[in-house]
Amino acid sequence: NWCRFINLLMKKQKNRLIKNIMRINSELLKEVEKYVSDLIVEKSSENLTYHTIAHTRLVVKNAEIIGENENLNEEEMNILRVSAWFHDTGYVKKYQGHEAESMAIAVNFLESKDVDKDIRDIVSGCIMATIFPYRPTTKIAEILCDADMMHLGNSSYFELAEKLRQELANSGIRKLKKVEFEKESVKLFKNHSYFSNYCLGETAKRKAENLKLLNESIVNRERKKQISIEKEKRYSRGVDSMFKLTARNQINLSSIADNKSNILISLNGIIISLGLAGLATKFQEEPALILPTVIFIVFSLSTIILAILSTRPNISPSKFSRDDIKPKKINLLFFGNFYNMELEEYEWAIKEMINDDQYLYSTMTKDQYSLGKVLARKYKLLRWAYNVFMVGIVVSVIAFLLVFLQL
């Protein structure tokens, strides 16, 4: 009798459950779809680009496909459908922790429709199982979790993933660059696994292909980033033009200085020759001319000496080795720094320089600086030469005038 009573009670409970499930099938299912659709469309934030009504419909469709392949009965299928419809409704209230809000929305709706508590508990369990990492305790919950992440093994994964990345940024959750998001996605792929036999088949294979594509995309993006960094390190054509223009200007200035020095040397050489030839014959007749002549010759000689010093080349006697070149401080473009080197050593040093843009441009900068220092010394001596020549002419003329006036 006791066993009969228990069997009768279980039969009544089962009939009650079936009755409620049938009510879901015939009366509630369309109401659930309309309620959830209106709720998400009307109350979802504009920042949600991934968790839209389209995503919910896709999860419901995925759940139905998996459920049918997993041979769920009609009762289980309807519970799965309701759970799939409600599983992301919590996003209308909050982003993080939306699962609890989704469960509350589902329970309130089902209570308003007098759905049995056992069914409400199953739906609640399925929704809460979608918290990642997934820990479903029932077959229905496992299928819902697989349906929710079925896009990992979908051909449109990358399009959907980009929408999710934008959603995270727009919602203020996490603002990730594409390569960063892809790296996080790789972690998700590795930590995630399907539960149903259906998803462990073809879906898992496509998921593995997407993971491979993700890794390739990360490698390509990092390669492009490295190339971009290397390009940033390189200097523009404007820099090359600047170096060429500066070098040309310095060479022109050096040539002008040499020409001016040659003029002074030639002019004073002629003056000394003619002065000595013309005045030396008169020294015995006019001894007073000796002093002005000596003054004139001294100033002319000083001018010539300064002019010669300004054009005299200065070659460094240094000899550099590989150990001196490795710190990248030697100017390999100035002949005075490498004429003592062996050809093999110099070829090695040049290869080291041209394969390193920073070293190359640093060397060019040093070369320009060295040319500038030489040019400054040259013009400084040339200025002194002109000053001496000018003062010498004035003093010599005054001396000769004084002598002629005394005579």
Q: What does the alpha-carbon distance between residue 42 and residue 106 come to, in Å, rounded to a whole number?
A: 17
- Neighbour-count burial for 256-268, b at 16+ CB within 10 Å, e otherwise: ebeebbeebbeeb
Instruction: Decide which of 239 and 16 is more confident.
Output: 239
Task: Give 294-297 contacts, CB < 8 A, sequence gap 24+.
Answer: 295/392, 295/395, 295/396, 295/399, 296/271, 296/392, 296/396, 296/399, 296/400, 297/272
The per-residue pLDDT for 43 is 93
Instruction: Tell me what the mean pLDDT of segment 169-197 comes to.
Output: 91
Q: What does the alpha-carbon distance between residue 24 and residue 17 come to, in Å, rounded to a whole number?
A: 11
The per-residue pLDDT for 59 is 96
Q: Is the pTM of this model over 0.85?
A: no
CA distances from 31 to 53, 54, 109, 383 (A): 15, 18, 10, 101
Is residue 17 scored above 50 in pLDDT? no
Q: What does the alpha-carbon distance between residue 256 and residue 270 come to, in Å, rounded to a whole number?
A: 21
Q: Give the rounded percent of residues in the chain with a pLDDT score beyond 70.
A: 75
The per-residue pLDDT for 391 is 87
pLDDT in tens, 58-84: 999 999 999 999 999 988 999 999 999
Taking the CA atoms of residue 350, residue 352, residue 356 and residue 360 in that order, the dihedral angle to the nearest 10 degrees is -30
Is residue 39 scored above 60 in pLDDT? yes
The per-residue pLDDT for 294 is 79
Is residue 6 scored above 50 in pLDDT? no
The per-residue pLDDT for 189 is 94
The per-residue pLDDT for 282 is 63
Q: What is the mean pLDDT of the chain?
A: 80
Cα torsion angle, 104, 105, 109, 110, sign = negative
